[in-house]
Structure 1
Amino acid sequence: MRIVCAPDSFKESMTAVEAAAALARGIRRVDPSIECELVPMADGGEGTTEALVAALHGEFVEADCHDALNRPITGRFGFVPRSRLAVIEVAETAGLAQIDPPERDPWAATSRGVGELIRTALDRGATEFIIGLGGSATNDAGTGMLTALGARFLDRGGLPIADGARGLNSLVSVDLGALDDRLQSVTFRIANDVSNPLLGHNGASAVYGPQKGATPRDVLALDAAVARWAEVVESAFARQVRDIPGSGAAGGLGAAFAAATNATMESGVELVRDAVGLQARIAGADWVFTGEGGIDKQTAFGKTPWGVAQAARAEGVPTILFGGRISDDAYELIGDAVVAVVPILRRVTDLPTALRAGSMNLERAAETITRLLTARPPGS
């Protein structure tokens, strides 16, 4: 028997790598001869770099850079030398989770660190990039990122504008003379599961600004500031980007990539699926085990477990979903792709305890399911 273990991370409990290992331990408790294929997965958000580095036998590279509040930090990205692929999560440097709630300020937050990681990866010889846009603290439409890569955003007096969205109101022109010309000769694939445009009631500021600290009044002002950015930047790059689906992701970073590079916007789980060769690794398997921290009806809309199940379905392999939290509507996922949805909790407990015990709970759940799959009728 061969079982493919292809989970996403269980947020705040296990990385995808740890979850895949826990599934495999549970399976081997039943029968050490069962072949386990470990394929940690992600959908472009947290854990994408780790999943791809593990699956593609890459390495982590550390670099000096800055966080969203312009504080010096050591960031990291994934690098696969044989394919010269760099994997960068925006949240690594410009992440909302790195900023304490009282300090969150969408006017000040900068995407500078993202550009610094890209520059370091270019220096290392990267020719292909996968960028995960999830979890940003910024609303600067990528000005920080592009500034780190050589662009100059200038005010009426020809001076650089202030960092963050605060400077966008004074933006008059963009000097692209020193923009890193390597950006035009490499490939950017953007892992992005949102379709929001840059501006308006479905745009970057309105939809994502509040979670980054924006008040209702801020949202209107931020949208106006980003609109000014669009007017100036679209002219500078001779590209219309404001209405591209996904241009509003990560505080407008989607629009910045569309303006300055040949970036393609792709479904995060499909991008990771293709990058790790999931389809080929599932072919010929008997079962696929996947899952993440929470499973509900929305899992079918671009989440990792559903993407894995669809890949398995194409190969005629049944899938079982494991989750720490299973909503009542999660059982609607059961059909020709998913044959079971399995909660991993073994007893009623509080959330901190459940998170700490996540690895053991997942291991035991995988063990139980494997016993059922391999059981023989009495006397057979």
Structure 2
Amino acid sequence: MTRHTVVIAPDSFKGTATAIEVTDALAEGWASVRPHDSIVRMPLADGGEGTLDAFTIAVPGAIRVPVTATGPDDRPVEASWVLLPDNSAVIELAEASGITLLDPLRPLDAHTVGFGQAISAALDAGVERLYLAIGGSSSTDGGVGALTALGGRFLDGNGAPIANGGRGLAALASVDLSGLRALPPGGAHILSDVTSPLLGVTGASAVFGPQKGATAADVRVLDAGLARLAELLPTDPATPGAGAAGGTGFGLLAWGATIAAGADAVGEVVHAADAVASASIVITGEGRFDGQSEAGKVPTYVRGLAASGSAESMLVAGAITAEPVGFAAAVSLSDLAGSPAAAMGDTLRWVREAGATLASTVDSPR
């Protein structure tokens, strides 16, 4: 009997299933065809939604710490951060300031105050190091909300605090960072899969503003506000990743944080390379595998780990619109279900089916 060690390491299928749910469904589907294989579950993330889940599952001894924060529409939200055994903290922007917390969207007025409050809570606990996952943002405030919660002051011409959100940046006249909390001894490390600069046609407002409800006129207002912020903070707005999370990357860089490719950084902390090194098959996935997937997303990160060893990599995605080069097999849920709508309507059913389909491509146990 041929038995395989199968590592299942997908990202979330954003909007339809968490990385943990996708991992479990793939495992169930695979086991229905190949029950004798050894399955290692390792949900991953690239700095967006699900990053806390990935750390909680993958790092023994990780503890979820609750925190009440001010949400992006000023209502309190119950969020959390993760304390790792090495006294590092993982804070996920989406938990306290994410777009899924809003209905309706607030393209000009959503803010990142809650994210900064969660960071402050971790600093109050005396953590050694910060990992800041900034995907899933609801706002385009340049990280001003977060920096305000950390002690920064952003003032108008009369010396009064500006309003929260991207709209408030239009009145920005001066910045005082002297009261900012100090970085922890091990620093702050931004986890992001976005390489956009802060400003212009490839920047935070133009690329991501419409996803947050911004009209063309709103985009112009937001970009002008971010440009004003860039004049007052000691950071290059052209830095790759400065435009991440509505410019929150830029604000955090001004605080002194460093930025890293999200999937790589998450994988390093959870020792993904060690798990993949012991596997003969690795299954990864995301909601949509497209031209952007080669830019540091979870599937290409996992594929790279597999290629460095002896494991075959396999891909599952809600839709596959780019050639899945380097994968031994690939399954699109949209193809399995007959349409994207059908796949999204019962995602986990089709993820299980995809797991079974991939398992059937491997020689059956005898």
The answer to whether TM tops 0.5 is yes
* C-alpha distance in structure 2 between counterparts of 1:131 and 1:18, whole Å: 23
Say which is worse superposed, 293-302 or 53-62, in terms of deviation: 293-302
Q: Deviations over 1:289-320 (max 9, x none)?
A: 11123334443332211211111001121111
| 8 Å Cα contact 1:241/1:258 also seen in 2 | no
**RMSD of aligned alpha carbons:** 2.2
Q: Which runs of 4+ in 1 moved over 4 A?
A: 344-347
Answer yes or no: is the 8 Å Cα contact 1:300–1:333 preserved in 2.
no
Residues 274 and 91 (structure 1 numbering): CA distance in 2 closer, same or farther, change over 3 Å? same
Q: CA separation in 2, counterparts of 1:372 and 1:209?
A: 42
After TM superposition, give the deviation of residue 356 of structure 1 in Å.
5.2
The separation in 2 between residues aligned to 1:350 and 1:217, in whole angstroms, is 32
Change (3 A) 1:370 1:84: same
Once residues 209 and 356 of structure 1 are traced to their aligned partners in structure 2, the CA distance between those partners, rounded to angstroms, is 27
- Matching residue's letter, 1:67: G
Change (3 A) 1:294 1:219: closer
2:277 to 283, 286, 290: 283
| Percent identity for Structure 1 against Structure 2 | 40
Q: After superposition, give the CA deviation of every residue in 1:101-157 in whole Å (9 maximum; x if it has no partner).
A: 4x4232x22110110000111122322222222221212211111111111222333
Pair 1:114–1:315, CA change in 2 (3 A) = same
CA–CA distance in structure 1, aligned partners of residues 201 and 344 of structure 2 = 36
Residue aligning to 1:150: 151
Equivalences for residues 243-262 of structure 1 within 5 A: 243-261=238-256
Rg: which structure is higher? 1
Residue 328 of structure 2 aligns to a residue whose secondary structure is strand
Question: What does the per-residue CA deviation read over 1:302-345, in whole Å, with 9 as the maximum and x for residues that have no partner?
Answer: 22112111110011211111223333xx4x223xx311112346
Specify the SS of the correspondent of 1:217.
helix
SS in 2 for 1:373: coil
Distance (whole Å) between structure 1 residues aligned to residue 202 and residue 32 of structure 2: 49
SS in 2 for 1:338: coil
Pair 1:2-2:15 in alignment:
no
> Given the superposition, is the C-alpha separation of residues 212 and 156 from structure 1 closer, same or farther in structure 2, using an over 3 Å criterion?
same
Q: Find 1:90's aligned residue among 93, 107, 124.
A: 93
CA separation of 1:343/1:225 partners in 2, compared to 1, >3 Å: closer, same or farther? closer
In structure 1, the partner of 2:266 is 272
Query: How far apart are 1:28 and its partner, in Å?
Result: 2.8
| Alpha-carbon distance in structure 1 between the residues aligned to 2:252 and 2:337 | 47
Instruction: Please state how far the C-alpha of 1:281 moved relative to its aligned partner.
Output: 0.8
2:185 paired residue number: 185
What amino acid is aligned across from residue 267 of structure 1 in structure 2?
A: A
Alignment gaps of 5+ in structure 2: none
**Residues 1-380 of structure 1 aligned to structure 2 (within 5 Å):** 1-57=4-60, 58-80=62-84, 82-101=85-104, 103-106=105-108, 108-181=109-182, 183=183, 185-232=185-232, 234=233, 239-261=234-256, 263-327=257-321, 330=322, 332-334=323-325, 337-344=326-333, 346-348=336-338, 351=341, 354-355=343-344, 357-375=346-364
User: What SS class does the counterpart of residue 83 from structure 1 fall into?
Assistant: coil
Counterpart of 2:107 in structure 1: which amino acid?
D
User: d(CA) in 2 for partners of 1:324 and 1:161?
Assistant: 42
CA-CA distance at 1:251 after TM superposition: 1.6
